[in-house]
A and B are shown apart, each in its own frame.
Chain A
Amino acid sequence: MSSLSELEPEIVPTDVAERRVRGRSPLQLAWARFRDDKVALTFLVILVLIVVFAVLAPLWASWTDHPYSATFPKTGLDVNGQPVGPSKDFWLGADQLGRDVLVRAAYGARISLLVGIAAAAVASIVGVLVGTLAGYVGGWTDGFLARVMDITLALPYLLIAITLAVTFQVQSVAGSLTMTIAVIAFFSFAATGRIIRGQVMSIKQKEFIEAARSLGAGRGRIMIVDVLPNLVAQITVLASLLIPTSIVFESTLSFLGVGVRPPMPSWGAMLGEGSEVFQTAWWLLVVPAVLLLLTTLSFNLLGDAIRDAMDPRADRQSGGK
């Protein structure tokens, strides 16, 4: 490609300008638009800081010498047995058992991000698969899959999640993590699946699908080669918006005591424990709540920014570039 164009030195002046435009894929164009979005970039930085905070959790534990599950009745609780507030030893205070809130919040961030991203990924993959099959194959397949999604959306998810947790009594941290991710993914895939199904049904009517059929392409090839690339923008946006809802979902489950097992900290569980004593120890609520808010807000704003960057129509609404 480039070697061929170098053979034409006589058209260099226009070609240079042209070459900058040429070959920019839709994703590259989207990234160029995203870079201009100051709000999105700010929240991207905040998100990166939260991720760093989570990744470095063991570091905070070793610096403060406060492992996340260790209790410090002497230093963490005052003479009346009340948790101490933010201080030199406990930067963000201690909880009722005298555990370090900073360290627990960092480990909780790991859980929230892990569960949020994993559940969103599983839900997106399943949703895209189901939605694409339903939308493209149509007929009975569509009738069955669409009804399954409708039923999933109609189920009372909290009741079922609590029932599952009580029935299976998962004790290990890993087991409860897997279970939480599975429950969240099960209750989230249908929303994605329905949107993808609608999109696939509209793409299916496009002439390039007919063109592919007339070339002899099979269903599978058309779905992968022709349909899916046209869904990249939607899938990215839906997945990035699924992450915050999954994080909130996980917090809800843990708050109710049916999510991730203690002593593994999670923001939801911290909120649940802190709500009992928040009148005397405000930091127990404020720290996880602010982290939860910042994380979900960042993901939501990033999702919106990605949609704006990827959707050419959004470009038109904002009046040009």
Chain B
Amino acid sequence: MIATILWLGFVVFGGRSIGDQPTPIGMSSGELLWTIVIAANWILDLSGVAWLVSPRIPRWGGPRLQRRLASAIRYELMIGISVLALIPIFWMVSTSLKTLPETYEVEPYLLLPREPQWGNYPFLFTFERFNVLQLFKNTSLMTVFNLVANVGIASFVGYGFARLRFPGRNLLFLLVLSSLMVPFIVRIIPLFVLFSGNTYILQDQLGQVFSWTIFFESRSWAQNTYLPLVVPEFFGAAGSSALYIFIMRQYFLTIPHELIEAGRVDGASEFAIWRRIVLPQATPAMVAVAILSLQGSWGAFIEPLIFLRKVDLHTLSIWLSSFRSVQGESVIQWQYGMAGGVLVTLPVFILFLLFQRYFIAGISLSGIKG
């Protein structure tokens, strides 16, 4: 694995041709050399793991050497896999700084731009077809609404399921979880009908959905609004609401019984107990839900795609997907697509760096990404 990385570094810094002599199997000698080194490295790695794991192979060298070897192999694999995980991200950033001709250059293949084109980023905001600033505004607004909705409703309903006894509670909670099984498309089609009023929608538009230039004006009251993207979240009935309710419930179960009892003895209403005693204790879970919700809405794709059919209502993810549209231009402007990708990813990355702990806690509690 290390050899793979070395080789990659080698390629990046332009030292590909250490040997250009032809060999009988069709590779140049340099390529052959690298291939052998990488293969040998992998064989060593795998046999090292096998040696450490298998009881059949005789041990030598004592426990200390074995431990050293084990951590060496572990580090090597961890580094190698990091490279695999990070290469596409590197490639995105690198491409975003290239010029259009550079993205299409093959000989020599450019892993890094000759000169970083920082201007690609401001250029994104000057597109005619998409007002990117507007898209940022739309997406953030939707994200914030959904965040408030999800945190509020999940902590409210979650408390009911966690700390209040009422008949049918377990059955209803099972129903909450089972709604995770309902395919999103089953929810979306009726939602679409519900929010389209009846009707005119889509005349003359058949077959135009793939081409991103033509979007239509709607005449019905709720068509082309954010309502179908936001309203279900306020009722805990969006795709991942059940997870958020689950996360909050699990957390509320850990709050000491005495605290709640004390509130009841003081004659506080359950609402006051929830608001004044329980919520302040539940910040970590609320942050986890907030982050998962934020990440989910920020990158939401299919719902905006279906409900928002006017270009100035679009979200960032729809804009990004248009860079791949097959029927659009013949030349795909990869550098802008990648720059857009960086712009859209950056906020969530920063958030991740700040709140990594909550992210991970939320995911290991819920099991699914938002």
The answer to whether A and B belong to the same complex is no
Residues of B within 8 A of A (CB): none
